[in-house]
Structure 1
């Protein structure tokens, strides 16, 4: 996979959820290009260790950590309020953090299935709360981390059991959350027309991160299979971060919005639900209620709903 050449980002502020794996290399690339980087994490000690390393590697001291837990809506609201009060801009928002294929169904204190909230709903709320800052900072870019898992047979939006109380499996939960991230990018791109804010979804590739280790450990011979799989099929986190970096910084993506990217280029979704705009809208409306927002974003310009090149 190509290594993206990042333009000079002096004066730009990037906010990234997470600090390990893909998030680390996103932060490193942006910091090397002179951006101010703010990492959102629930484990401040571990995140600060990464920040110390990033500062050494990039010679950029303008990297910091702020506390936020995607599985706790109140912490997302607290961070957003604090950030808005700080009057700082945001030019790049990378919705990156998440979990994968948790064996047993878990529920957050907000009452949602953990994968759905960590991967999707938390970022849905964060993005909406930061929209006033993004609009004022525009041009701005939002990058949502989806996955090719959104095309797996288990991938659907279970409208009547969105938190999978009756039909939970590890992959059903993960696939639904990543399909939701894709739908979010599609739907928000229509609602952000005219704001000079772009939003796109990204598949990073099959990346060798701790998420896979978490999943494989539950299976007999899981570690052995994992080692073989990573050797022949996986890419490194640095390689996986390149598409996020490309969408967040490249000249080619400056005005592109509402697309799905893989391998630093536009990709096609083979899940037929990707071409059901009514379902995207329905999920958006459901999500507003789930995160406690009274109203969403209405488009300033009526978009073309016939766009097919997602």
Structure 2
């Protein structure tokens, strides 16, 4: 029986990786500045390494500065590009987001590519940040929403520029957006429900952002990296039962054995950041370097507009930070 399982996993791995999309663009990023959030491991690390190979100035925006610096040193060694720097950013902390954006605006004359990649599968018990936001939503959606808005003027001044929001197939499992209870204060919470909702928000945010950026030279797209063995399910703290812990480990083993590696998982992000084929395309959802269909909820322009308004309130976006109004 074990032999059969191994054979099936190996075959699935071969077929899945064989059909996985790959960025074919050889475009150089010399003279370009790129920001990648959550770049200290997994897909973010692989994405950053590719950008560095293309000659970009790459800013690794990470919560764990020490870990990120080790990654930066490795990328510099492998690529020979010394323009790989680390800046502290915790997307779950709005104060950290504002501090990071302030440093970028003071130190970087241009920002050409913003990759909102950082994400977590939140804890089993609901946790609230110092800003009163549910931790998963804060990390995966609210922090990136605020960061993008704070950098919009610099991105517009640097046009043509691109914004890539890393979502997930998990957004299909968020069947309804509870706009009056985005942080699970008055309804049942689970880490999966929060994660699925946050990934839906990534797609809806991208859709409305693209509308607001029309004619500015800045494009925004969202994407699904696919099934990638990043170990995200093992970071889910405090599983309530041994069965759930076992299932998390089993799922991680399956992804490691049959899914994409991080380099393949990064290909769609890289494609959206550099490819000539997506020049001028905005507000779309991609997988395997191709535009594909998203959930019916994620296609709703009214939901996207309403989410934007709720997000502005929840992150306390100030009038002087609403740069999209001046485009």
Q: TM-score, normalised by structure 2?
A: 0.87
Q: Deviations over 1:190-228 (max 9, x none)?
A: 000010000000100011012122249832533652355
> Is 1:230–2:255 an aligned residue pair?
yes
CA–CA separation in structure 2 for the residues paired with 1:162 and 1:2: 33
CA–CA separation in structure 2 for the residues paired with 1:125 and 1:177: 14
Residue aligning to 1:3: 22
**1:192 touches 1:299 (CA, 8 Å); kept in 2?**
no
Q: TM-score, normalised by structure 1?
A: 0.91
CA–CA separation in structure 1 for the residues paired with 2:274 and 2:200: 24
CA–CA separation in structure 2 for the residues paired with 1:226 and 1:220: 10
Residue aligning to 2:170: 149
Q: 1:257 aligns with which of 254, 260, 282?
A: 282
> Which stretch of the first structure deviates more once superposed, 212-221 or 54-63?
212-221
Residue aligning to 2:130: 109
Unpaired runs of at least 5, structure 2: 1-19
* Structure with more contact order per residue of length (Cα contacts < 8 Å, sep ≥ 6): 2
Residue aligning to 1:288: 312
Pairwise CA distance, 1:231: 4.9
Residue aligning to 1:159: 179
CA–CA separation in structure 2 for the residues paired with 1:22 and 1:225: 21
What value does the CA root-mean-square deviation take over the aligned residues? Answer: 1.8
CA–CA separation in structure 2 for the residues paired with 1:190 and 1:160: 23
CA–CA separation in structure 2 for the residues paired with 1:25 and 1:122: 22
Unpaired runs of at least 5, structure 1: 301-310
> Is 1:64–2:85 an aligned residue pair?
yes
Q: Deviations over 1:59-82 (max 9, x none)?
A: 111100011111111111111112
Q: Which has the higher helix share?
A: 2
Aligned length in residues: 298
CA–CA separation in structure 1 for the residues paired with 2:216 and 2:271: 21
